[in-house]
Amino acid sequence: MLSDVLQRNRDWSARRQAKEPDYFTRLAAQQAPEFFWIGCSDSRVPANVVAGLDPGEVFVHRNVANIVHSSDMNLLSALEFAVEVLAVREIIVCGHYGCGGVKAATEGLPQGLTDHWLEPIRRLARAYAVDLGREPDMEGRSDRLAEFNVVEGVRRVGETPILHRAWARGANCRVHGLIYGLKDGLLRDLDCSIGPGHFNEEGAQ
Ligand code: CO
């Protein structure tokens, strides 16, 4: 019920102010997050909660299956703001095991508009068909695909002119790929981080 939400909000606000009287005035004056989070819309993977971060500590963009579409103006606008105005140091692309969006992409059932949205995941499933075929079951395949989707997202973020511009002017901004386990509440590093060196390597080619 909406009234419950509003009541919870009043309680939360009161508790926060009791702990730190100038909490909201301080936050309202400025946000200076270190992190930009690109994650799934799934209600079980809220960035602040799973990463243990307070309001003001992470700038967030979420969409179905945390897909980095290279022409998604919503994501790109948030990314540009995060990099150029907020000057975040760490960009995190975070997927999760048991992702409904990833599963939907592999089921082959018509889903309407979602089919267009999920196309990059289908493409990854085709490209990594051999690796996915080694998984023992559907759950394993879908979780492995969720990992590939994160790695691909990191790569795509690193390929944006936004990051290339930032690295060219010497910003020490890094992009990381994490995956969250719904069953244990843990974030795992997929070891696909890229930073300014990535730009230099590409530039040297
Ligand atoms: Co999901």
Identify whether residues 82 and 161 lie together within a single domain.
yes
What mean pLDDT comes out for the span 155-168? Answer: 97
Identify whether residues 21 and 89 lie together within a single domain.
no
Q: 160: alpha, beta or left, given left = phi > 0 and alpha = psi -120 to 50?
A: beta
Q: Which domain covers residue 12, as residue numbers?
A: 1-30
Identify whether residues 131 and 194 lie together within a single domain.
yes
Closest CA to 105 of 136, 134, 70, 148: 148
Identify whether residues 19 and 97 lie together within a single domain.
no
Which one of the listed residues 8, 15, 89, 96 is annotated catalytic? Answer: 96
Q: Would you call 40 a catalytic residue per the annotation?
A: yes
How confident is the model at residue 203, as a pLDDT? 46
How confident is the model at residue 109, as a pLDDT? 77
Identify whether residues 56 and 22 lie together within a single domain.
no
Identify whether residues 55 and 111 lie together within a single domain.
yes
Q: 56: alpha, beta or left, given left = phi > 0 and alpha = psi -120 to 50?
A: left
Q: What is the pLDDT of residues 21-34, one digit of tens each?
A: 999 999 998 889 99
Q: Would you call 42 a catalytic residue per the annotation?
A: yes
* Domain total of the chain: 2
Check which CATH number belongs to the domain holding 101 and give it: 3.40.1050.10
Mean pLDDT, rounded, of the chain = 93
Identify whether residues 8 and 109 lie together within a single domain.
no
Identify whether residues 59 and 156 lie together within a single domain.
yes
For the chain, the residue count is 205
How confident is the model at residue 199, as a pLDDT? 59
Identify whether residues 4 and 57 lie together within a single domain.
no
Q: What is the pLDDT of residues 23-62, one digit of tens each?
A: 999 999 888 999 999 999 999 999 999 999 999 999 999 9
Identify whether residues 12 and 66 lie together within a single domain.
no
Q: Would you call 115 a catalytic residue per the annotation?
A: no
How confident is the model at residue 198, as a pLDDT? 76
Identify whether residues 105 and 8 lie together within a single domain.
no
CA of 191 to the centre of ligand 1 (A): 20
What mean pLDDT comes out for the span 140-152? Answer: 97
Residue 201: pLDDT band (50, 70, 90) is low
Q: Would you call 192 a catalytic residue per the annotation?
A: no
How confident is the model at residue 200, as a pLDDT? 52
What SS3 class is residue 201? helix
Identify whether residues 16 and 107 lie together within a single domain.
no
Which one of the listed residues 8, 10, 26, 44 is annotated catalytic? Answer: 44
CA of 99 to the centre of ligand 1 (A): 4
What mean pLDDT comes out for the span 101-114? Answer: 84
How many Cβ atoms sit within 10 Å of the Cβ of residue 40? 23
Lowest average pLDDT, out of 26-30, 66-70, 148-152, 176-180, goes to 26-30
Q: Would you call 99 a catalytic residue per the annotation?
A: yes
